A and B are shown apart, each in its own frame.
Chain A
Amino acid sequence: MRSAPTLEFPLDEYEARMAGLFAKIEEAGCEAVLLTNEENLRYFCDYRSAGWNSEFAYPAMLLAARGGKAALVTSTRQLPTALATCCLAESEILAFDGFGEPGSHEAFVPAIVSALSRLGVTSGRLGTETGLVARMRITYGDYTALFEALPGMQPMDFAKYIFDLREIKSPREIEVMRKCCGMSVDAFKAAMDKLELGKTTEEEMYHEYVAASFDMGADDFEYQLIVEFGPDRPQPNCMPGARVYEDPDWCVFADSGPSYKGYVSDMIRIGKLNPPTKAQQDFYDISLECHKSCIAMVRPGARIGDFCKAHDDFMRAHGVEDICLTMNNSGHGVGLDVHEMPVIKSVFADKEFKPGMVFAFEPTIIHPVEGQIVLENNYLVTEDGCENLTPQLQDIYVPRRS
């Protein structure tokens, strides 16, 4: 491995990650793995490209095999980009004419077959990013064509092993995420402070939020910020629209956050121009108290299933289970992707919290009159509990008053 000119973290960070990957290959009992996703390539070898923004392009793929062998496969046109960003040794960066280029679909299979052969892999199991919370970034047609060209190899779901590694953040990752999470709430405050009654639209608030984030050092918006004004805008994951903030008693709902060095944050904050009404405050307090109650039980070894149950029981105890959006589905891991492991859902009941995990918790009430009321924080699991990475504005934010 080598320190590429634009490497994001010091080389030893990637050496540790690749060592973890090789150990997982042994543990899984496969011969090699094929990684096709932007997040996985960035995580293991820091390959980066704006080319991921085209669904037609495969900018690069990472192969790793038993015995500590690895190869980044890319096109000859994109070789200089790989050399500028990726920390694999130059001899491990294999360039093929047309690989992953929109106009050269036919180059894909021969390149991967050739690269596997150079790693000495022609038979056995090939780990792939299939299964829960995973997607291969190749077309299904290319997936089947690849395995037809590799008659001695069988696909194997390797996503679980990848998440075993990615879900535990290193101190350097935590430092980056701390900054990213901090900006996500600070930018909300900045955008709220510019909110004008009768003038600002949802879209404009989103754009002000983005501008504030860039000024604070963000470098991308992987996920658009959801901004919704008013009690009849309880639409999860909806794009911001042209609605104007017309009533100071309307709640402003904002969800997601900026990206920084590839890492994302995911907060939800509520704000408004008038002080909260009693009903708004009462429902908000349920979400806030749910955080306090449930987060107190998070420590290494605590089970996801018990955490899910605690959330659901809390909502039942407060009589809001029928209007709670997040029953049995109250959070998710955050990192290079906005939705990653650990997913806080009963299907992962036996999974345990571990130090270094970062997750978003979002107990959500959708009230037929009051609208969508929720507080979402990002938490870091520590050796003896949990740290809130988004501690700012835990109450409904009212500019010039809070």
Chain B
Amino acid sequence: MRQSPMLEYPVSEFKDRMAGAAEKIKAAGLDCIMGSSKAMVCYLTGLRSVAWKSKLSTPGLIFLGADGNFGVVGSFSAVDTAMYTTCLEKEDFYFFDASGRYGVALNYYDALCYTLRHLGFTKGRIGCELSGGFHLHMDIAMFNDLRREFPGLEFVDSSELFWDILAVKSEAQLRNLRDAEEINRRAAARGLEAVRPGAMTELELYREIAKAGYLAGSEHFTYMSVLAGAGRALCAGCPASDAVVIPDAPGTTIHVEGGAVRRELNAPFTANIVVGGVQPEQQPAWELASGMIERAMSAVRPGACAGDAAEAMDAFAAAQGKAGWVVQPGYAGSGIGWGRIDGPLLRAGSKFVLRPGMTLTLTASVRHASVGVLTLRQNVVVTDGGCCFLNGKTVEPLVV
């Protein structure tokens, strides 16, 4: 391994990551894994590419064995980017080239087959990203062809193992996540400054917030939902509209959801901008959602299960006689970092054990006529003794 110009973390961290992952692969009874997602490739190698959303390009796919042997497959055009951003040596990168100039595989599929054979991963069990928030970065027909090509390999779903590998963040990663959270704070503050109730559309406010997010240093500012007023708040995830003027009535809540990305790590945010402050009739919804977040935080600690937070939230709402207000009973949020939602899901019944260094987002959504749907979000880090805010409290109303 080597320190390339844009490698974000020390080589030693990548050695630890690779060794730790190999140990987990072995413990899971696998011979190797195939990681095609941005999360897995970036975590294990540091690859920084903009092409992950392409359905044509192939930034990189990693095979990693229980013995620590590994190789990355990608296109010829990805080689220089890999050498500039990753810990990989050139011989670790198995590329294909359609022009035929280099005597290597002419296409992605042939390169995958060559690399599997070259690394000796042709028999046994290979863990793959087949469920749980992972989408194979190849088309389904190609994956089926691969299975037929290697009858001695059993392609098994190892999504839980993959999330387990990705879950705990290093101090350096936490710093980047805190930076992302700080960008969110600044973007929301800009929204508060720019908003003109009665004279601005949702889309205009969205542009101000997103622009501020980028100028504050976000690598990508997730396409946001901006919903103004109780009626619009019911439209979960609806994009900002240029047909909706933000109402100016007291208590109008502008629900903003998005998230900054810093060094490939995502910190989602939810901000509630309230015109004239929270009104008395809205107070019960705020109190319920705030209380749910507090209870969830109390349930997050090392050794606790991911499901405990959801159960604590629901128990609190039930104790208040407001179980019917809860929009998503049995769900309290998820891990964060590689995406806006990572494993583990904080879902009632989940036995995924929390560990120090995991980053979670806790979300409480309640339905009430005075607000439509009110969603509060708090990002936290699991600590040795419980959990703490990732970068400050984020559930207070922003009053304009």
A residues near B (Cβ < 8 Å) are 5-6, 48-57, 59, 77-78, 80-81, 84-85, 101-103, 105, 128, 130-143, 157, 203, 206-208, 210-211, 214-215, 219-226, 233-239, 241, 256, 322, 325, 327-329, 332, 337-340, 343, 345-347, 366
Q: Chain B, 319-347, contact with A by CB distance < 8 Å: what is the 0/1 string?
A: 00000000110110010000111000101
| Contact of B81 with A81 in the complex, beta carbons under 8 Å | no
- For A5, A6, A339, the residue with the greatest tally of chain B CB atoms inside 10 Å of its CB is A6
User: In the complex the two chains form, is B328's CB within 8 Å of A103's CB?
Assistant: yes
Question: Is the beta-carbon distance between A103 and B81 smaller than 8 angstroms?
Answer: no
Excluding A49-B225, A56-B339, A220-B210, 12 further A-B contacts by CB distance (< 8 Å) are A48-B238, A56-B133, A78-B236, A81-B238, A84-B235, A130-B139, A210-B211, A224-B220, A235-B80, A235-B85, A241-B6, A328-B98
Q: Among A128, A130, A366, which residue has the most Cβ atoms of chain B within 10 A?
A: A130
Give the residues in chain B near A203, CB-CB below 8 Å: 217, 219
**Alpha-carbon gap, A52 to B81, bound state (A):** 27
By beta carbon, the residue of chain B nearest A39 is B55
* CB-based contact A346/B98 at 8 Å: yes
**Chain B 61-85: CB-based contact to A (< 8 A → 1; otherwise 0):** 0000000000000001110110111
CB–CB B236/A51 < 8 A: yes
Question: Contacts A55-B134, A226-B50, A237-B57 known; A85 to B238 CB distance under 8 Å?
Answer: yes
Please give, as numbers and ranges, the residues of chain B lying within 8 Å of A343 by CB-CB distance. 56
Give bound CA distance, A209 to B328, whole Å: 39
B-side residues, CB < 8 A to A, are 5-6, 48-51, 53-57, 59, 76-78, 80-81, 83-85, 98-99, 101, 128-137, 139-141, 143, 157, 159, 203, 206-207, 210-211, 214-215, 217, 219-225, 234-239, 241, 243-244, 257-259, 327-328, 330-331, 334, 339-341, 345, 347
* Complex Cα–Cα for A19 and B152 (A): 46
Contacts A84-B235, A237-B49, A239-B49; A102 near B334 (Cβ below 8 A): yes
Taking a contact as CB atoms closer than 8 A, the residue among A54, A103, A241 that contacts B347 in the complex is A103
CB distance from B8 to the nearest CB of A (A): 10
Secondary structure class of chain B's binding surface, majority of residues: loop
Please judge, given known A-B contacts A141-B157, A207-B215, whether A238 and B235 are in contact too, CB under 8 Å: no
Q: Offer 23 A-B interface pairs, CB within 8 angstroms, sorted by A.
A: A6-B238, A6-B243, A6-B244, A48-B239, A50-B225, A50-B239, A53-B259, A55-B135, A56-B133, A56-B341, A59-B237, A80-B234, A80-B236, A84-B238, A103-B328, A103-B345, A136-B140, A139-B132, A203-B219, A235-B85, A238-B80, A238-B81, A343-B56
- In the complex with contacts A54-B340, A84-B238, A237-B77, A143-B219 CB distance below 8 A: no
Whether B131 contacts A102 by the Cβ 8 Å rule is no
CB atoms of A51 and B49 under 8 A apart: no
Is A207 in contact with B334, judged by CB distance below 8 angstroms? no
Q: B237 is contacted by which of A78, A233, A337, A338 (Cβ under 8 Å)?
A: A78
Contact B131 A329 (CB under 8 A): no
Q: Quick one: which of A80, A105, A134, A208 contacts B139, CB cutoff 8 A?
A: A134
Counting from the closest, the 4 A-B pairs by CB-CB distance are: A141-B131, A339-B56, A51-B237, A103-B331
With A49-B237, A54-B339, A55-B135 already in contact, the answer to whether A337 and B55 are too (CB < 8 A) is: yes
Q: What residues on A are CB-neighbors of B235 within 8 Å?
A: 80-81, 84
Assess whether B6 is in contact with A237, with CB atoms less than 8 Å apart. Answer: no
CB-CB under 8 A from B5, the residues of chain A are: 241
**Chain A contacts for B210, CB-based, 8 A:** 214, 220
Nearest-neighbor residue (CB-CB) of B5 within chain A:
A241
- Known contacts: A49-B238, A203-B217. The answer to whether A224 contacts B56 by CB under 8 A is no
User: Are the C-beta atoms of B327 and A77 separated by less than 8 Å?
Assistant: yes
Known: A5-B243, A210-B211, A346-B98. A221 touches B220 (CB 8 A): yes
> Across the interface, do A50 and B223 meet the contact criterion of CB distance under 8 Å?
yes
Report if A54-B80 is in contact (Cβ < 8 Å); known contacts: A78-B236, A239-B6: no
What distance in Å separates the Cβ of B232 from its nearest Cβ neighbour in chain A? Answer: 8
Q: Which residues of A contact B215 (CB under 8 A)?
A: 207-208, 210-211
**Candidates B78, B129, B140; contact of A130 at CB < 8 Å:** B140
User: In the assembly, what is the distance between CA of A371 and CA of B173, in Å?
Assistant: 32
Q: Is the CB of A102 within 8 A of B101?
A: no
Q: What separation, in Å, do the CA atoms of A118 and B257 have in the docked complex? A: 35
CB of A131 within 8 A of CB of B135, answer no
Contact present for A235 and B81 (CB under 8 Å): yes
User: How far does the alpha carbon of A357 sit from the alpha carbon of B59 in the complex, in Å?
Assistant: 26
CB distance from B133 to the nearest CB of A (A): 4
CB-defined contacts of A329 to chain B, threshold 8 Å: 98-99
Contacts of B133 in A (CB 8 A): 54-56, 102, 139
B99 engages A214 (CB within 8 Å): no
Q: How far is the CA of A58 from the CA of B134 in the complex (A)?
A: 12
Report the separation of the CA atoms of residues A205 and B238 in the bound assembly, to the nearest whole angstrom.
30
User: A224 vs B262: C-alpha distance in the bound complex, in angstroms?
Assistant: 13
B residues within 8 A CB of A347? Answer: 98
Determine how close the nearest CB of chain A comes to the CB of B296; give it in whole angstroms: 14
CA distance in complex: A332, B51 (Å)? 14
A81-B235, A241-B6, A329-B98 are known contacts. Are A56 and B345 too (CB-CB below 8 A)? yes
- Separation of A50 and B140 alpha carbons in the complex (Å): 25
Tell me, in angstroms, the Cα distance from A340 to B223 when the chains sit together: 21
- Given the interface pairs A203-B217, A223-B53, the reply to whether A236 lies near B236 with Cβ below 8 Å is no
| Minimum Cβ distance to chain A for residue B228 (Å) | 13
Chain B nearest CB from A46 CB (Å) reads: 11
Contact A234-B80, Cβ < 8 Å, known A49-B237, A222-B53, A337-B55: yes
Instruction: Tell me how far the C-beta of A11 lies from the nearest C-beta in chain B, rounded to whole angstroms.
Output: 15
Contacting residues, chain B, for A49 (C-beta < 8 A):
225, 237-239
